[in-house]
Amino acid sequence: MLQRQQIAALVPHTGAMCLLDGVRAWQQDGIECVSNSHGERGNPLRVDGQLPCVALVEYAAQAAAVHAGLCGTDLHGGAAAFVGAVKSLQLHRAQVPADCVQLAVHAHCVLQSAAGAIYEFEVLGDGLCLATGRLVLAAPAA
């Protein structure tokens, strides 16, 4: 299992904005990551002591970035891609439940090219589905 330090080398964020704690499993077409950062007081995405479920989009984007890095996919010409669009977003709660112990972040790559990638994602909190959707990752303009 990859740990936080290895993940940090694959995402464009540092410090507390590196939200994932580990990679449980990955294959050429997808990845499953885990995180406990949703409960940390220093999490910069928390609002009034709780993590809104809309913030789980960033967890999914980081899982996609880790997946692309592990697969050796050069989607971005060496530069970090950005989230160009979020589609079909469904939030099943307003906030991550306060008693949630661990998040599981699943990202499945459905399309990739030099211009970017499309990932379907699902974020579970202790097995409960909190968010699903699709991310369109876009490469920066040359």
CA atoms of 72 and 120, how far apart (whole Å): 19
Give the list of residues 6+ apart from residue 53 with CB closer than 8 angstroms, or none: 91, 92, 93, 94, 95, 96, 123, 130, 131
Which two tokens mark 141? 């303009």
Domains of the chain: 2-138 (3.10.129.10)
Q: 3-class SS at 40? A: coil
For the beta carbon of residue 64, count every other beta carbon within 10 angstroms: 29
Estimate the share of the chain in helix, then strand, then coil, as percent rounded to the nearest 5: 20, 40, 35
pLDDT of residue 76: 45
Which two tokens mark 89? 């977003």
pLDDT of residue 23: 97
Q: Tell me whether strands 82-91 and 116-125 are parallel, antiparallel or unpaired.
A: unpaired
Q: Does the predicted TM-score (pTM) go above 0.85?
A: yes
Give the list of residues 6+ apart from residue 7 with CB closer than 8 angstroms, or none: 18, 20, 21, 22, 23, 33, 62, 66
Nearest to 138 by CA among 86, 92, 95, 63: 86
Per-residue confidence in pLDDT tens, the chain, 142 aa? 788 888 988 888 889 999 999 999 999 999 999 999 999 999 999 999 999 999 999 999 999 999 988 987 655 455 667 899 999 999 999 999 999 999 999 999 999 888 889 999 999 999 999 999 999 998 777 6
pLDDT of residue 81: 75
Give the distance from CA 89 to its chain's centroid: 14
